[in-house]
Chains A and B, each alone.
Chain A
């Protein structure tokens, strides 16, 4: 996990806000490094993590998590991590064989119009099941759902409205009912376009998820172009605050991704330019 990002979000594995829906998004950039941060963060926090890995293999996430000091293999073996390997599961549906049945979670691949109810039921069963009381089974903290990434569902034929329904149900179960957290990555392509809400593409999906979430982290490239020492900027927006009456707060940071982490700093304060 990235300690500077923890400081920005005012969160540690021992103390973090529960019931949050965190939306990570990117435009002409790659925000997947934030998914690795949150994965290692919540595993260190001893949360029960359900990870829908739709775009990369388990070994990919495992290799990167190893560099961040977390073993996904051990977490899965202990029952702390439930990992849906979307690429592998989809093969068993697209190329059905006699011996493999595939997970019902990916049933939307057979008919995208049916929606994501099965995927939600997979999430619900993953986060709701606990081994509490059973001998030898560890008890874990609040559940966390990580999705990498929801926009690939659009490419698979699922409508943006169905994705919003899925995220709503996940939020109702994970955040509101179980006081857990959700982190979803959505990727936008091209320039931010003015549209009248009719085109249900990634931009419309981003807006819909933004209305649902409580914290957004939007990653994009530097407006001035490529820089070797600064890989991009992150806009952090707290949308819902309770108690203190404040409404929305936005902060902008620049970042650089390293081999074993990422550093965040205020614009113009990179060590390369100071």
Chain B
């Protein structure tokens, strides 16, 4: 699922990367920036946490379409040298900022970080701005970094509630590996969750090492859909493949189910009377 998110986000998507002191999400944020630049998208970065040099350091993709709006040097207006202050975080100012560089396509807005803004702007105002950005059409997608251990649970919950995808990163057990817990909401309202172990290389490309499950570790397996005895996929949705039973069956599945032999059943042979039942056990593999 992490690879899918890196490949592209839907229009109107809001993706939140949640990190903590134990593992910084800054590199994963740069991976998303790099992936967007490689797809020749225009990326605008609201930079509070790190300087432009530090953000661009190591990015191998062409940074021609990367526009950095520095709120790092003077975010509060102390030195009157500011390009953008934290109090300008509203949809009107952001739209004006984005229109300064013209692009044929809607842009991807990266906010590094939402935590800096939440320390100075009330959470309801931040949520309102994010919602307006999501619906307004000025940006194609919003990607934000959130230091979850710096805010109340309610604030984190409110911001993440607006997100279409939330990636919570934590340190892994070995080397440079990390764990990503991903929650994705589709437009139809389905919620998908996954947990993957990943590593980030020097060029900020992401390698998914393996996927974990609640039952424990299992190796990466190809995306196989479970099939019924007729060979057709049981369900078209990936979510329903992972559950133990399917709530709705297609007509062919219903027919197949009727012909399936259950584990234990009574069977009446032709010509025998009903008083001569026989227990026949069938074992299905």
Chain A interface (Cβ within 8 Å of chain B)?
117, 120-121, 124, 161, 164-165, 168-169, 172, 176-177, 196-198, 204, 207-208, 210-212, 239-240, 242-248
| Complex Cα–Cα for A164 and B76 (A) | 12
- Contact at A210–B78, with CB atoms within 8 Å? no
B window 67-84: CB within 8 A of A: 72-76, 78-79
Query: Which partner residue on chain B sits nearest A161 by CB separation?
Result: B119
Chain A residues, CB < 8 A from B150: 197, 204, 207-208, 211
Chain B interface (Cβ within 8 Å of chain A)?
20-21, 23-24, 26-27, 49, 51, 53-54, 57-58, 72-76, 78-79, 115, 119-120, 147-153, 155-156, 171, 176, 178, 200-203
Chain A residues, CB < 8 A from B120: 161
Query: Which partner residue on chain A sits nearest B116 by CB separation?
Result: A168
Q: How far is the CB of A127 from chain B (nearest CB, A)?
A: 14
Question: 26 interchain pairs (CB within 8 A)?
Answer: A161-B120, A165-B76, A169-B74, A169-B76, A172-B72, A172-B74, A176-B51, A176-B54, A176-B72, A176-B73, A197-B148, A197-B152, A197-B153, A207-B20, A207-B147, A210-B21, A211-B21, A211-B49, A211-B115, A211-B147, A240-B24, A240-B26, A245-B176, A245-B200, A245-B202, A248-B24
- Contact at B152–A196, with CB atoms within 8 Å? yes
Q: How far is the CB of A273 from chain B (nearest CB, A)?
A: 29
Task: Indicate whether A207 sits within 8 Å of B58 (C-beta atoms), given known contacts A120-B78, A197-B149.
Answer: no
- Contact at B54–A169, with CB atoms within 8 Å? no
Q: How far is the CB of A256 from chain B (nearest CB, A)?
A: 28
- Contact at B58–A243, with CB atoms within 8 Å? yes
| Complex Cα–Cα for A153 and B26 (A) | 29
Extra A-B contacts (19), CB below 8 Å, given A204-B150, A245-B203: A120-B78, A124-B79, A172-B73, A176-B51, A197-B150, A197-B153, A197-B156, A198-B152, A207-B20, A207-B149, A207-B150, A211-B21, A211-B24, A212-B49, A243-B58, A245-B176, A245-B201, A246-B176, A248-B24
Task: Indicate whether A164 sits within 8 Å of B119 (C-beta atoms), given known contacts A120-B78, A245-B176.
Answer: yes
Chain B residues, CB < 8 A from A207: 20-21, 147, 149-150
Chain A residues, CB < 8 A from B149: 197, 207
Interface centre among B23, B24, B148 (most CB of A within 10 A): B24
| Complex Cα–Cα for A194 and B201 (A) | 32
- Contact at B151–A247, with CB atoms within 8 Å? no
Q: How far is the CB of B49 from chain A (nearest CB, A)?
A: 8
Which 5 A-B residue pairings sit nearest by Cβ, starting from the closest? A245-B202, A210-B21, A176-B51, A198-B152, A197-B151
- Contact at B53–A176, with CB atoms within 8 Å? yes
- Contact at B21–A243, with CB atoms within 8 Å? no
Q: How far is the CB of B156 from chain A (nearest CB, A)?
A: 8
Query: Which partner residue on chain A sits nearest B203 by CB separation?
Result: A245
Chain B residues, CB < 8 A from A120: 78
Chain B residues, CB < 8 A from A246: 176
| Complex Cα–Cα for A121 and B23 (A) | 32
Chain A residues, CB < 8 A from B72: 172, 176
Q: How far is the CB of A171 from chain B (nearest CB, A)?
A: 9
Chain A residues, CB < 8 A from B26: 240
| Complex Cα–Cα for A198 and B280 (A) | 65
Chain B residues, CB < 8 A from A245: 176, 200-203
Q: How far is the CB of B55 from chain A (nearest CB, A)?
A: 11
Chain A residues, CB < 8 A from B54: 176
Partner of A239, one of B24, B153, B200, B201: B24
| Complex Cα–Cα for A144 and B190 (A) | 53
Q: How far is the CB of A204 from chain B (nearest CB, A)?
A: 7
Query: Which partner residue on chain B sits nearest A177 by CB separation?
Result: B73
Q: How far is the CB of A176 from chain B (nearest CB, A)?
A: 4
Interface centre among B74, B75, B119 (most CB of A within 10 A): B119
| Complex Cα–Cα for A239 and B120 (A) | 25
| Complex Cα–Cα for A176 and B23 (A) | 22
Q: How far is the CB of B279 from chain A (nearest CB, A)?
A: 58
Q: How far is the CB of B116 from chain A (nearest CB, A)?
A: 8
Task: Indicate whether A242 sits within 8 Å of B58 (C-beta atoms), given known contacts A161-B119, A204-B150, A211-B147.
Answer: yes
Interface centre among A120, A124, A165 (most CB of B within 10 A): A165
| Complex Cα–Cα for A169 and B72 (A) | 8
Chain A residues, CB < 8 A from B78: 117, 120-121, 169
| Complex Cα–Cα for A165 and B120 (A) | 10
Chain A residues, CB < 8 A from B53: 176
- Contact at B51–A172, with CB atoms within 8 Å? yes
Chain A residues, CB < 8 A from B202: 243-245
Query: Which partner residue on chain A sits nearest B77 by CB separation?
Result: A117
- Contact at B176–A196, with CB atoms within 8 Å? no
| Complex Cα–Cα for A117 and B75 (A) | 12
Q: How far is the CB of B78 from chain A (nearest CB, A)?
A: 5
- Contact at A168–B24, with CB atoms within 8 Å? no
| Complex Cα–Cα for A106 and B58 (A) | 40
Task: Indicate whether A168 sits within 8 Å of B75 (C-beta atoms), given known contacts A204-B150, A208-B150, A243-B202.
Answer: yes
- Contact at A247–B73, with CB atoms within 8 Å? no
Chain A residues, CB < 8 A from B147: 207, 211
